[in-house]
Amino acid sequence: MEHAWKDEFEDDEISYYNAKDNLEANETEGRKYRIRPDFKEDASFKRLTDHNHTAVHIPTDIYDGSTIVLNELNWTEALEEVFRKNREDDPTLLWQVFGSATGLARYYPASPWMDSRKTPSKIDLYDVRRRPWYIQGAASPKDMLILVDASGSVSGLTLKLIRTSVSEMLETLSDDDYVNVVYFNTRVKKTACFEHLVQANVRNKKLLKDAVQNITAKGITNYTKGFEFAFEQLSVTNVSRANCNKIIMLFTDGGEERAQAILEKYNADKKVRIFTFSVGQHNYDKGPIQWMACSNKGYFYEIPSIGAIRINTQEYLDVLGRPMVLADKQAKQIQWTNVYLDALELGLVITGTLPVFNRTMTIDERNGENQLILGVMGIDVSLDDIKKLTPRFTIGPNGYYFAIDPNGYVLLHPNLQPKVWQPALCITLWGSNPKFQEPVTLDLLDAEFENDIKVEIRKMMIDGETGERTINTLVKTQDERYIDRGVRTYTWGPVNGTDYSLKQGIFVFSKAMATLQLERFDEFGYTYIAPREYCKELKLSLNNTQFLLDFNQYIDGNPPDTCESCIFLPGSDGIVTRFVATDGGITRVFPRSVGEEWNENPETYESSFYKRTLDNEIYIFTAPSFNSKFLKGSNMCACVHTSLCMMIFTVAWHRAYPALCIWTSSRVTDCVILDDGGFLLMSNQDEYITLIGQFFGEVDPVLMINLVNTSLYSFNKTYDFQSVCDPEKDSKAAAGPRSVYVPTIADLLSIGWWASSAAWSILQQLFYGLIFPNLLEAADEDIPDAMFKESCITEQTQYFFDNDERSYSGVLDCGNCSRMYRAEKLPNTNLVFLITDAKTTCLSCDPRPLRQAEQPSEGPDPCELAQNPRYRKGPDVCFDNNENVRNHHTCLFTEHIVGNVSISEVLQLASDKISAWI
């Protein structure tokens, strides 16, 4: 694809669809270069699309009429035909995107950037160069040491600009990169607790960004001290590293010192690139720090104000891409990203990427081959599509598939369920809120209970090995309230054509089978059918007769599974409901009147009671969730351990327990029955009846703590790294529409806030509000409360029986009073019966409630994790240095962009997209 640079274009020379145009409001009228696609609803993309056109997204802070943008619009127009051809060759293709190094993104098929039916007030902060797939595809991995000048001269506004610049720099790093931030004057200090470079994952970057805000300025500048520490950090080899590009980023206000001696001592071979940033408005000589960059294969940038921060902290990626350009075909390798949420609301995706190079000759006086990376080509693969390729219903409800990348992060796993993964939330949180644009990084050892065998299996998977192991393991239930012990057989191996590894976990089934004698039931009952695709090979026909013939032929060749044992549940006193749940997804509830109010999940493969039953050789009793509508009738339930499961609901509390206890309200004795998770099922106290289903640590904390201390209960604390929480700051309530964030006085006085995405959003809204007044008239309910939430970590504690002891007793000593108790596990059940002196007889040592439910947490200590990092592997190839890489004589970007894109590169990426998963 050849393109000659042009300085001017005629009005009708370029036509394109701007994805941010509001076609309903006729925003294209009177504008140059605009076309109007004919959108139709597309089930594959879950939104409006037009397969005859591409769409173009241009970041808000880039002028769409600039010469550079017009040239890119011109040469990328040819991609439209390539994208259409790819789609014809492979109809399963989803988004095809080209992300330019200048920020322009062209994607196919065309679709509005904002779907007004779903997100009428969506704020556009998107820049393709900040997306995970672009960052990962634009350069090889990096070992980066950020060096901050903290001398007295950078105090005030300059220091605030530096803090914000460092935070923006951290956002340009991916999980394949390693980073640390230190500051110096006459001494060097680490900003955070990290002794060495650490993986640039979401948690570590957040810790570093928070630590940078605590940097204070004093003393005088000593570049020699700073660079000496930086080179020593980069030279350490006995810790986990990217082992590719080595970079020092120096943020300073300038100075007279060149630090030439220390640079010649540590970097005579120029293996470490140095990028320097002159921050703030001052009269210092920029020559020395510009020399540092130019003589060490880096670049020099100026950040005089907030407007220069975003662009100047990401352009270094173009420099790092130069060795890839010179490597040419060797660098043409498809890279697969980790999981992230698609900006166009497709859900969780992974992306295959290829870099796109400029192979033309430069136009300066020296001539020679161009070394610019034009951008990155990407093709999305939806995780839902990958899941469809796995035979979920052939390996049982407790069997599952999962896959991990070389970092150990899962891209396919039952526990990969970000809390925002709901249509109403993911659009707002991940599509609009910049805090939710990070990759979804869930390590395998965080998705499951960690043990030595799983650590070993994880390493073998990352190394691309194959294997099989059968292990005993702890399993967290679907509702995350219980822990069971189960036996799993794991089989794993590499996925051809990718650096992923796929693993299958199979549940070892019980040999017991069961059928139900329907003649024992007095009516047909109420039937629920799981929403599955039962007959994948059966195609819908417009001719009903033909469809029935096809169905009969199909069912004759694929008869459903059957079993020949028997289970019968007599109509016991107090039983008000019975149901049968099957592996095939059929649930029948008796009597029909109760079935009409049934609230259980009809998909048995996602039901906790059903899956728990298969992992246990005992009767499983389950309490309804606290505050559940079931509590209105004071129900409890039990589930037996066969593949056909029955649950019992009873309201006859007082008639059920005369043999266990004096089952009337007693002032001196508490009698309770708890399940293996510590949840209350029964009690003789009237006030406890309304607490059925609540964790007992909140009902009687003293007794529950003692039961843990005596080992009746063990517990495991688990973290959810995919949660959302309310922001820590005070509410930004104001009289204006909620679709417009109203900054506080503190915000307006903070240079950090003005450099943030929120500030750019405000300026954008004010600008468009003047031109299009109706834009800000969105109703308050257009923006849900979820918009104001933040990604966070939550912790939850699951309790379980960890030994075979059946009897426990003890005394709760509260100083001036005490309580005796005795506990007995009920045979062949998951229950324990407790009798104790009444709680009301001794209240002097009643502690704070013991929490089991999910609550916000800081998570595991990242400083400790950094000392013992988990095993990972970087990319197999590295493009970090090339003797032919040259710098411009001013070390500044002044070269024009001249496109030369190979269509075969796009075709190669498309053809390899799905084949790796088949």
Rounded CA gap, 78 and 99, in Å? 14
Q: Each residue of 674-706: pLDDT tens digit? A: 999 999 999 988 888 889 999 999 999 999 999
Q: Which of 440, 414, 378, 344 is nearest to 42 (CA)?
A: 344
* Mean predicted confidence (pLDDT) in 479-500: 88
pLDDT over threshold 80, residue 823: yes
Q: Each residue of 515-548: pLDDT tens digit? A: 555 555 555 677 888 887 766 666 666 667 776 7
Tokens of 641: 């351990």
Beta-sheet strands, E only, within 313-391 = 335-336, 340-341, 348-357, 373-382
pLDDT at 328 (0 to 100)? 76
Helix (H, G, I), strand (E, B) or coil at 301: strand
Which residue has tokens 């350490």? 236
Tokens of 377: 């080509």
Q: Which of 88, 240, 98 is nearest to 176 (CA)?
A: 240
For 495-532, give one letter per residue: b (16+ CB within 10 A) or e.
eeebbbbbbbbbbeeeeebbebeeeebeeebbebebee
pLDDT over threshold 60, residue 779: no
Rounded CA gap, 581 and 610, in Å? 8
* Mean predicted confidence (pLDDT) in 699-725: 90
Rounded CA gap, 682 and 679, in Å? 10
pLDDT at 542 (0 to 100)? 64
* Average pLDDT score, the chain: 78
- Provide, for the chain, the percentages of residues in helix, strand and coil under a 3-state DSSP scheme, each rounded to the nearest 5: 30, 25, 45
776: Cα separation from own chain's centroid:
31
∠ CA 67-70-71, nearest 5°, is 85
835: Cα separation from own chain's centroid:
46
Strands 55-57 and 105-108, by their bridges, are: antiparallel
Rounded CA gap, 144 and 181, in Å? 9
Tokens of 745: 């006085």
State the Rg of the chain over Cα.
32
Single-letter residue type at 161: L
pLDDT over threshold 60, residue 715: yes
pLDDT at 514 (0 to 100)? 56
Give residues with Cβ within 8 angstroms of 408, minimum separation 6: 443, 444, 445, 458, 462, 870, 871, 872
Give residues with Cβ within 8 angstroms of 56, minimum separation 6: 16, 17, 18, 19, 73, 76, 104, 105, 106
Phi and psi of 672, rounded to 5°? -140, 155
Count CA atoms within 13 Å of residue 358 on its CB side: 28
Give residues with Cβ within 8 angstroms of 698, minimum separation 6: 849, 850, 851, 852
pLDDT category of residue 849 using cuts at 50, 70 and 90: confident
Tokens of 541: 């026909």
Contact 752, 398 (CB under 8 A): no
Rounded CA gap, 851 and 839, in Å? 18
pLDDT over threshold 90, residue 386: no
pLDDT over threshold 70, residue 773: no
Rounded CA gap, 178 and 208, in Å? 12
Give residues with Cβ within 8 angstroms of 463, minimum separation 6: 873
pLDDT at 524 (0 to 100)? 64
- State how far the alpha carbon of 484 is from the alpha carbons of 45, 475, 646, 706, in Å: 39, 5, 19, 22
Single-letter residue type at 794: T
Q: Which of 664, 654, 523 is nearest to 596 (CA)?
A: 523
Tokens of 303: 């950040």
Beta-sheet strands, E only, within 253-372 = 272-279, 300-303, 335-336, 340-341, 348-357
Rounded CA gap, 108 and 114, in Å? 15
pLDDT over threshold 90, residue 120: no
Tokens of 832: 């324990």
Q: Which of 450, 339, 311, 355 is nearest to 404 (CA)?
A: 339
Single-letter residue type at 340: Y
Give residues with Cβ within 8 angstroms of 444, minimum separation 6: 402, 404, 408, 409, 410, 413, 454, 458, 461
pLDDT over threshold 80, residue 379: yes
Rama region for 464: left / alpha / beta (φ>0; ψ in -120 to 50; rest): left
Which of 488-496's residues contact partners 24+ apart within 8 Å by CB, and which partners?
A: 488/398, 490/457, 491/467, 492/457, 492/460, 492/461, 492/465, 492/466, 492/467, 492/468, 493/465, 493/466, 493/467, 494/464, 494/465, 494/466, 495/403, 495/916, 495/917, 496/916
* Mean predicted confidence (pLDDT) in 618-637: 60
Rounded CA gap, 187 and 191, in Å? 13
Which residues, in sequence order, are bridge partners of residue 855? 795
What proportion of the chain, given as a percentage, has pLDDT over 70?
73
Helix (H, G, I), strand (E, B) or coil at 236: coil
pLDDT at 258 (0 to 100)? 85
Q: Which of 226, 211, 207 is nearest to 151 (CA)?
A: 226
pLDDT at 541 (0 to 100)? 63
Rama region for 875: left / alpha / beta (φ>0; ψ in -120 to 50; rest): beta
Tokens of 721: 């790294």
Helices 79-89 and 903-911: crossing angle in degrees, nearest 10, is 30
Which residues, in sequence order, are bridge partners of residue 80? none
Q: Each residue of 26-72: pLDDT tens digit? A: 655 555 567 888 899 988 888 899 999 999 999 888 888 888 888 88
pLDDT over threshold 90, residue 192: yes
Q: Which of 16, 6, 14 is nearest to 54 (CA)?
A: 16
pLDDT category of residue 916 using cuts at 50, 70 and 90: very low
Tokens of 885: 């890489």
From 90-104, 465-479, 712-726, 755-769, the region with the lowest mean pLDDT: 755-769
Contact 671, 834 (CB under 8 A): yes
DSSP conformational letter for 765: H
Contact 436, 430 (CB under 8 A): yes
Rounded CA gap, 591 and 912, in Å? 54
pLDDT over threshold 80, residue 767: no
Rounded CA gap, 837 and 821, in Å? 7
Rounded CA gap, 538 and 556, in Å? 13
Rounded CA gap, 351 and 380, in Å? 4
- Structural domains for the chain: 23-135+325-381+887-917 (3.30.450.20), 141-307 (3.40.50.410), 406-507 (no CATH), 526-553+564-656 (no CATH), 663-676+692-713+807-853 (no CATH), 721-795 (no CATH)
pLDDT at 25 (0 to 100)? 61
3-state secondary structure 150-175: CCHHHCCHHHHHHHHHHHHHHCCCCC
∠ CA 52-54-56, nearest 5°, is 155
- 324 C-beta neighbours (distance < 10 Å), count: 24
